[in-house]
Amino acid sequence: MTTIADTIRTQIGTNIASYTQFKVSQELPFTASGESLYVKNKKTVYVDELQEEVIQLYRTLDQQEVMQKDQQILAYLSTDAKNQPSDIDDVIASIKNARSAISGSMEQETLVTSEIEDDVITYTFEFNIINL
């Protein structure tokens, strides 16, 4: 069964295929001991597992519940902070656009944050999908 995380991972691979410096890993972003693989393997996108929360949106007059399912998938990409690839902005935009592979949702958004530690810049992509 293909999960939403698999769909996002596949779409990222398709979207960045023309940027030959970059690749997508099939592994999770962390080792069992908690080591961040995306810091170790720069220019490789790692997609984490789906996090899901179901909350009651409201209760109808006949006491039925309308539930909202919030799904979140995180993806990570690290590069050398001093020597960024010239096409990094295009790669980031391509990864963000992977949300288009998820159909039938009420809302989709991708937030990108970056953090520099030592000489490594890490981009964290937060894919948020909302369904009723």
Dihedrals φ, ψ of 37, to 5°?
Answer: -70, -30
Per-residue model confidence (pLDDT) at position 12: 97
Start-to-end CA distance of the chain, whole Å, equals 22
pTM score of the predicted model? 0.89
pLDDT in tens, 87-98: 999 999 999 999
Instruction: Report DSSP letters for 80-98, one per residue.
Output: ESSS--TTHHHHHHHHHGG
Q: Which letter does DSSP use for residue 128 in this model?
A: E
Which amino acid is present at 50? L
Domains in the chain: boundaries: 4-131
Average pLDDT over residues 103-127: 92
Q: For residue 114, is pLDDT > 80?
A: yes
What's the CATH fold of domain 4-131?
STM4215-like (3.30.2000)
pLDDT in tens, 21-72: 999 999 999 988 888 999 999 999 999 999 988 887 777 778 787 878 899 9
- 97: number of Cβ within 10 Å: 13
